[in-house]
A = this chain, B = another copy of it.
Amino acid sequence: MNQAAASRATMKDVAARAGVGLATVSRVVNGDAKVSEKTRILVDQAIADLSFRRNDSARLLRQGIAASIGVVLDDVADPFFSTLNRAVETQAIARKTLSMTASTGNDAAHAKELIVALCARRVDGLIVAAPHGTEESYLADEIRAGTPVVFVDRPPVALKADAVLSDNAGGARLGVQHLIAHGHRKIACLSDGSNLYSVRQRIEAYRQALAEAGIQAEPVLEHSDGHDGLDLGQWLEAADALPESDRPTALFCTNSRASVAVLRALRNRSGAEPGAPWPALLCFDDFELADVVQPGITVVAQDPAAIGAAAADLLFRRLDGDTGPASTITVPTRLIVRGSAETPPVSGRR
């Protein structure tokens, strides 16, 4: 019965069984017009008998393409990147292209290994969120060698290449202005991941928005991981202990990790009764259940699906032969008002 467990039948086998030439089998398999009905049936029978399936790896090697792309992201389990990844995958599948995904863990050395491995497989192209500290020279080599690369979430630093980014500056600015419009002047800026390009952009925009509104920036109100030896919870405790006139009345979280940390800390505020008032809160990056938390969290939402789709578009355009200059696409962000940021500046007694 199941005689062959190890190796699959090849076209040669099919040709032999059908008593025809190799090329004829190829023609049948590819639906090539010129083959007589008689031999087609013969071949189809042999194919069925041997349950032959064309080996696409061999086919693609011969044709010099891979019909697959590499997708290199910080972490495919992260909601932002997984959504981006899904959008890329959808575009790819529509073009009969498979995607090989790999997570860098934000480690530049690991990223390099992955990218090199992908290029060694001769993927048709690459979509990359390059970790901080990536030496781009090897990427430049790959691009020159003919593997187009589209950067996502962070632009290349010393490289002219396509990129798709969130409107970090615009979004952050809008968010901070929103807080200012609601009367806040003491606005803290909280970050976890301050070596990330996107986060740095947002912090910069925060400062600028303050300046534009004629508000003096105060370093005490800025907290980034690893900059003052405190974690976010400790920082909030310290802020609570500030004299009322210095205490922040609003919190701007520049990324979701900071947001989650802040939400947890606020939730567990020592000695607070359940309904104690929160400072105004505005988070960059939307998250599931942001509308369910009490109060609903106002956010500047990114659109990871749009980023992924745009990146795939760009990449496939290159694969289709577009040799135009490198372009950078900025994907808009959106302010979603849910209540947490629309409170007046009363410094919540804790």
Q: List chain A positions with a Cβ less than 8 A from chain B.
A: 2, 4-8, 51, 53-58, 60-61, 66, 68, 75-79, 82-83, 85-86, 89-90, 93, 96, 98-103, 114, 116-122, 141, 144-146, 260, 263-264, 267, 274-275, 287-289, 291-294
Contact = CB atoms under 8 A, between A and B. Distances in A.
A121 B103 contact: no
Given A57-B121, A77-B86, A289 B291 contact: no
A61 B53 contact: no
Contact of A122 (B57, B99, B294): B57
> Could you say how many copies of this chain the assembly holds?
2
24 contacts: A8-B122, A8-B145, A53-B145, A54-B120, A57-B60, A57-B66, A57-B122, A58-B61, A77-B79, A77-B82, A77-B83, A77-B86, A79-B79, A89-B102, A98-B117, A100-B100, A100-B101, A260-B288, A260-B292, A267-B291, A267-B292, A289-B293, A293-B293, A293-B294
Nearest first, the 4 A-B pairs at minimum CB distance are A77-B86, A82-B82, A56-B120, A263-B292
Contact of A55 (B101, B122, B288): B122
Given A7-B146, A54-B120, A264-B292, 10 more contacts: A4-B145, A57-B122, A79-B79, A82-B82, A89-B101, A98-B100, A99-B102, A100-B101, A263-B292, A267-B294
A202 B264 CA distance: 30
A46 B169 CA distance: 47
Contacts of A294: 267, 274, 293-294
Contacts of A83: 77
A121 B292 contact: no
A71 to B, nearest CB: 9
Contacts of A274: 294
A102 B92 CA distance: 10
A43 to B, nearest CB: 18
A137 B82 CA distance: 31
B120 A55 contact: yes
A82 B76 contact: yes
A279 to B, nearest CB: 16
A101 to B, nearest CB: 5
Contacts of A54: 120
A72 to B, nearest CB: 11
B61 A57 contact: yes
Nearest to A51: B141
A188 B122 CA distance: 54
Contacts of A263: 289, 292
